[in-house]
Every structure is written in structure tokens, then in C-alpha cells.
């Protein structure tokens, strides 16, 4: 499946695909991954640095941020809203780990 054009065109082009939650294969064995709950995104932009993304996520109030300098996160910035998730069985906490960005 290749989506191009407007968001509406992308939505229509994916209508016949198997898409649903939880559907994030990159979580590995982490059963408490916020991706499983639909509360997370891994972000990469060609025109914005990963540290700029991490700092903007911090300023926007994301409670989970993992980015450059944290193991496995040198090629993307992970953001989530773990603090607001009552279903994951984990004590609510703010966790920011992007040491290369000063976070």
C-alpha cells in the first residue's frame, strides 16, 4: 500500500488493508509499550532534527520522550502520553531520555 496526496486520499487507499490496534511490530517484548495502547509515536522529519522534535515534545507536555543518546533511539524520537495511561499497569511517571539533546 502506498498513500499519496491528501489525508483523505490516504485513508481511502488504506480502506482494504488490515490496519488496527495494537499493530506496532517494533515493540519487541515490551508488553507495556505505549505503542500497544495507541498512546505513542516514533517521529522522524527530514527537515527537523531529532533533538528539535524532543525539545518540542517536552515543551508540549509529552510525559514520555526517548531520543538521541538513549539506546535504540538515535534514528527517531519516541513520544508518548504514558502519564495519562491507566491501563498499562505501570506507576504513572514522566520519563524523558534524550541525553544528546540535554533531556
Q: What are the residues facing 96 on neighbouring strands? A: 65
Q: Which residue of the set 36, 73, 76, 78 is catalytic?
A: 73
3 Cβ neighbours under 8 A, 6+ residues apart: 9, 10, 13, 14
* Rounded-to-5 percentages of helix, strand, coil across the chain: 30, 15, 55
Instruction: Answer yes or no: 73 catalytic.
Output: yes
| Catalytic residue set | 73
Amino acid at each position: 500500500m502506498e498513500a499519496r496526496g491528501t489525508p483523505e486520499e490516504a485513508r481511502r487507499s488504506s480502506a482494504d488493508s488490515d490496519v488496527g490496534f495494537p499493530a506496532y511490530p517494533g515493540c519487541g517484548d515490551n508488553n507495556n509499550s505505549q505503542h500497544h495502547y495507541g498512546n505513542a509515536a516514533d517521529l522522524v522529519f527530514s527537515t527537523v532534527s531529532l533533538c528539535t522534535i524532543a525539545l518540542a515534545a517536552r515543551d508540549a507536555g509529552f510525559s514520555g520522550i526517548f531520543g538521541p543518546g538513549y539506546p535504540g533511539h538515535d534514528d527517531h524520537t519516541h513520544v508518548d502520553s504514558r502519564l495519562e495511561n491507566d491501563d498499562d499497569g505501570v506507576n504513572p511517571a514522566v520519563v524523558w531520555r534524550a541525553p544528546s539533546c540535554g533531556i
